[in-house]
Chain A
Amino acid sequence: MTMNSNIPEGPIEKKWSNHKFNMKLVNPANRRKYKIIVVGTGLAGSSVAATLGELGYNVHAFCYHESPRRAHSIAAQGGINAPKNYSNDGDSVYRLFYDTIKGGDYRARESNVFRLAEVSGSIIDQCVAQGVPFARDYAGYLDNRSFGGAQVARTFYARGQTGQQLLLGAYAALNRQIDVGTVKFYDRREMLDVVIIDGKARGIVARNLISGKIESYAADAVVLATGGYGNVFFLSTNAKASNATAVWRAHKKGALFGNPCFTQIHPTCIPVSGEHQSKLTLMSESLRNDGRVWVPKKKGDTRSAKDIPENERDYYLERLYPSFGNLVPRDVASRRAKEMCDNGYGVGASKMAVYLDFADAIKRLGSDEVFQKYGNLLDMYKQITGEDPYKVPMRIYPAVHYTMGGLWVDYNLMSTIPGLFVLGEANFSDHGANRLGASALMQGLADGYFIAPYTISNYLASNKFAAVKEDNKEFTEAENGVTATINKLLSIDGTKTVDEFHREFGKAMWDYVGMARNKAGLQKALKILPEIREKFWKEVKITGNAHDINTELEKAQRVADFMELGELMAIDALHREESCGGHFREEYQTEEGEAKRNDKKFAYVAAWEYTGKPGKPKMNKEDLDFEEVHPSQRSYK
């Protein structure tokens, strides 16, 4: 497989403008003749579909929800970064670029990250114009806060519902294009295959989730903006339906998968309450701005929090990281919490939690101000746990939150399948081994509004497209493949439900491919995971039929794909004999227990190729050159 990252020549701050100038254009009068399929209408998908529609292309957008507004992006709470330097605290494009490269633990491509930082300011302007009600001060200026360990205040926010407001903005822009007829929108359609003709992505096969019909759609280019795959762990903060089917099936058709093992664990989630748990709820890490994290100094302490005197509490983040304290990056905070619990200092009934305490903040600021700042989050905690965080400290535990890995893309956001573009969380780019807070929203919208519309135009202008119709044999073959898989699943008629298998698989992933990994555990995972998958294909029970709304069948297909992807994650994690960002290998740590990279051996992107059988992938490498930011050991002491 040839992989060319297509990074433009020139100094880093000129690359994108040079590239834009050198790209070919499609004449406005001709744009209507090009058909572009966009799969997924979260932030990345809605923004790209709307923008391509505005440019005059013939856009067809698909999602499995009833409306774009239901996409998982809606749940993002904290905010979106942009180096506007409104706070006058020394922020700049270069600083955001630097922070993102460093935060990603030197496993991202410099050129992409610089471009991301460069266009991010325009995102804020764009969203304001759409009527996104960002937080403002009394004079009417946009307000910023500092977020997720950044030392400048560059995060724009809309209360604790930033993702919602940004998505509603992109949704409105998309609606406008649907209204004027440049975009046709297909709701409740699940893409199940990408169709490749003469080496180019030329369409998709999707299932109509209401009628069960398998449908084909042809186009000149296909965009996947289908989100992340955190639900491979069953329990995560992702929406229940978030899944990897679109990217996985594209992978099986030839798209390389970049750094699949890079997953992010978020430190401030509400702990699991029992076997019935169906998903985990994140509480914005802005809580760490004022909340203090602690555990009892004594192992196995069963006293309730209020009975543990101050001098018997260990504020371990403040102790270990005097300069960053409770604001250390996500991976560090998560790992330390796990370590505390593993060593017997955990709190609550399950002992798998640490305290996040607002008592001092309430003393310092008063409960009114704490309510002003965090009211919705504290209410949510109360709603879920039945406990009052104004009176007792909250219990938190890390949970799977985001996947930095995804389909490998070049500088143009195109995968190794020509004409297949991948945007948002679905691609692997920009965040390296660890994503900084408030940077996913930024990336999704940068990809969708300001990058892909140019690079897709360039692709269309630079290629010739033979006429393709939905009755071409490649479509028929893909439809047959999809139908065969569905029929196979329905015919098994075993004894265990899809959820039960998913839970079992997810638990194994969490135990061995989760927050801290080691060789023996990963080898064990590589034994167990395929066994669960085999059992699944023999013993799963799905009721109902294929010609109707069938939520069990929908889940079964997603879980079947997770079970292949999970194995690839374990393979990737095993091969990467270093710790970096969210990938922590216990064998590779500094004396102080921090992640220890091995830049000599692993400063590359592992891009995995499907060879016809799950579990037997071939690795391709994209070496990463750091010309601007010299890799150093991250230190938050």
Chain B
Amino acid sequence: MKLTLKVWRQNNKNDEGRFVDYAAKDVSPDMSFLEMLDVVNIDLVKKGETPIVFDHDCREGICGSCGMMINGRAHGPGRGIATCQLHMRSFNDGDEITIEPWRAKAFPVLKDLMVDRTSFERIMRAGGYTSAKTGGIPDGNTILIPKPVADEAFDAAACIGCGACVAACPNSSAMLFVGAKVSQLALLPQGQAERETRVTRMVAQMDEEKFGSCSNTYACEAECPKGISVTHIARLNREFVSAQF
């Protein structure tokens, strides 16, 4: 296949940035999207240009590093996958593909397609844990958690922290990301003791990071590579409200 890529290039946080066109030749349908970019980058380096910078690591949809807007969609076409799981067989010969970084105030662009998601880190540090110290813990089976509860907590815990929910949301809201963690720990007995302080602090940090508010468009769930359900946003809202009274 032959493709035309319109790629966002930006030198650093302060640079304005611009789209640059690149031709991708000899693209095999078996390539992953990132492998296609690898090939383009080899050409760029050989020509003496700097390669397109993007975050990636596991290349199997679990580390949450990768993420770009592909033709206006977070992680590109296809449901339930991260950018690294997208394969070129989803495209046709001659296609033009627009590739941009996540766009959100809380995710400043570092370079090209790489953004700074440390706002997520700061939210997690504001209580996204149980205060269990190492050592002196009773046997794991002293806490019984029936399968349906464990399963639902797992569904929430599956979030990979990629930020697609924020990028897909017209308001750049982080409610799905935050809801997933709050919900996981609210569902489990281990999370009960700090339930109220946790949700209060995490939401306060989320607001401080300048994420937008949720207006129920559900774009987040649609683009989430792990299919995290918006029911976790509903639980986040309930948890937050009940923590305030």
Q: In chain A between 115 and 172, which residues have their CB closer than 8 angstroms to a CB of chain B?
A: 122, 124-142, 158-159, 161, 164-165, 168, 171-172
Question: Which of B51, B64, B125 contacts A551, CB < 8 Å?
Answer: B51
Structural contact, A125 and B137, CB atoms closer than 8 A: yes
Contacts of A453 in B (CB 8 A): 134
Q: In chain B between 41 and 96, which residues have their CB closer than 8 angstroms to a CB of chain A?
A: 42, 44-46, 48-51, 53, 55-65, 81, 85, 87, 89
Q: In chain B between 125 and 160, which residues have their CB closer than 8 angstroms to a CB of chain A?
A: 125-135, 137-141, 143-151, 153-154, 157-158, 160
Residue from B12, B117, B141 having most chain A Cβ neighbours under 10 A: B141
Given contacts A541-B46, A552-B45, contact A129 B62 (CB under 8 A): no
**How long is the Cα–Cα vector from A426 to B154 in the complex, in angstroms?**
29
Contacts of B160 in A (CB 8 A): 74, 164
Whether A519 is near chain B, meaning CB under 8 Å from some CB there, is no
Distance in angstroms from B174 CB to nearest chain A CB is 15
| A-B pairs with beta carbons under 8 Å apart, 7 shown | A66-B116, A74-B62, A274-B30, A449-B134, A497-B46, A543-B49, A552-B51
Structural contact, A140 and B145, CB atoms closer than 8 A: yes
Given contacts A70-B57, A281-B60, A497-B42, contact A158 B130 (CB under 8 A): no
**Stretch among B164-172, B183-191, B236-244 lining the A interface:** B183-191
Structural contact, B64 and A69, CB atoms closer than 8 A: yes
Structural contact, B65 and A65, CB atoms closer than 8 A: yes
Cβ contacts A181-223/B at 8 Å (1 or 0 each): 0000001000000000000000000000010000000000000
Contacts of B149 in A (CB 8 A): 136, 140
Question: Which of B29, B31, B62, B144 contacts A75, CB < 8 Å?
Answer: B62
Residue from B62, B121, B133 having most chain A Cβ neighbours under 10 A: B62
Contacts of B148 in A (CB 8 A): 138
Whether B213 is near chain A, meaning CB under 8 Å from some CB there, is no
Given contacts A54-B134, A159-B154, A178-B125, contact A133 B188 (CB under 8 A): yes
Contacts of A139 in B (CB 8 A): 144, 146
Name B's A-contacting residues (CB within 8 A). Answer: 11-12, 28-32, 34-36, 38-39, 42, 44-46, 48-51, 53, 55-65, 81, 85, 87, 89, 110-111, 114, 116-118, 120-121, 124-135, 137-141, 143-151, 153-154, 157-158, 160-161, 184-185, 188, 190-191
Residue of B nearest to A496 (CB): B46
Contacts of A551 in B (CB 8 A): 51, 53
Structural contact, B150 and A172, CB atoms closer than 8 A: no
Given contacts A66-B118, A140-B146, A159-B154, contact A175 B128 (CB under 8 A): yes
Name A's B-contacting residues (CB within 8 A). Answer: 47, 50-51, 54, 65-67, 69-72, 74-75, 84, 86, 122, 124-142, 158-159, 161, 164-165, 168, 171-173, 175-176, 178-179, 187, 210, 239-241, 273-274, 276-279, 281, 380, 383-386, 449-450, 453, 495, 497, 499-500, 541-544, 548-552
Residue of A nearest to B48 (CB): A543
Contacts of B59 in A (CB 8 A): 239-240, 278-279, 281
**How long is the Cα–Cα vector from A544 to B11 in the complex, in angstroms?**
11
Structural contact, B150 and A134, CB atoms closer than 8 A: yes
Structural contact, B132 and A129, CB atoms closer than 8 A: yes
Residue of B nearest to A54 (CB): B133
Question: Which of A130, A178, A542 contacts B190, CB < 8 Å?
Answer: A130
Contacts of B50 in A (CB 8 A): 543-544, 550, 552
Distance in angstroms from B211 CB to nearest chain A CB is 17
Question: Which of A131, A241, A552 contacts B188, CB < 8 Å?
Answer: A131
Contacts of B36 in A (CB 8 A): 276
Structural contact, B133 and A131, CB atoms closer than 8 A: no
Residue of A nearest to B144 (CB): A140
Distance in angstroms from A279 CB to nearest chain B CB is 5
**How long is the Cα–Cα vector from A173 to B129 in the complex, in angstroms?**
7
Contacts of A542 in B (CB 8 A): 45
Residue of B nearest to A73 (CB): B63
Contacts of B29 in A (CB 8 A): 386
Residue of B nearest to A379 (CB): B80
Structural contact, A543 and B55, CB atoms closer than 8 A: no
Residue of A nearest to B36 (CB): A276
**How long is the Cα–Cα vector from A594 to B158 in the complex, in angstroms?**
41
Contacts of B151 in A (CB 8 A): 133
Question: Which of B57, B62, B139, B143 contacts A65, CB < 8 Å?
Answer: B57
Structural contact, A125 and B30, CB atoms closer than 8 A: no
Structural contact, A179 and B60, CB atoms closer than 8 A: no
Distance in angstroms from A96 CB to nearest chain B CB is 16
Residue of A nearest to B161 (CB): A69
Distance in angstroms from A374 CB to nearest chain B CB is 16
**How long is the Cα–Cα vector from A139 to B29 in the complex, in angstroms?**
47
Residue of B nearest to A270 (CB): B60
Contacts of B60 in A (CB 8 A): 75, 281, 380
Structural contact, A133 and B57, CB atoms closer than 8 A: no
Contacts of B58 in A (CB 8 A): 70, 72, 74-75, 239-240
Contacts of B111 in A (CB 8 A): 548-549
**How long is the Cα–Cα vector from A127 to B139 in the complex, in angstroms?**
11
Structural contact, A383 and B87, CB atoms closer than 8 A: yes
Structural contact, B65 and A70, CB atoms closer than 8 A: yes
Structural contact, B141 and A543, CB atoms closer than 8 A: no
**How long is the Cα–Cα vector from A41 to B60 in the complex, in angstroms?**
20
Residue from B48, B56, B63 having most chain A Cβ neighbours under 10 A: B63
Structural contact, B146 and A136, CB atoms closer than 8 A: yes
Structural contact, A240 and B131, CB atoms closer than 8 A: no
Question: Which of A54, A165, A168, A499 contacts B42, CB < 8 Å?
Answer: A499
Structural contact, A383 and B85, CB atoms closer than 8 A: yes
Contacts of B31 in A (CB 8 A): 274, 276
Question: Which of B51, B118, B150 contacts A135, CB < 8 Å?
Answer: B150
Question: Which of B42, B133, B139, B153 contacts A125, CB < 8 Å?
Answer: B139
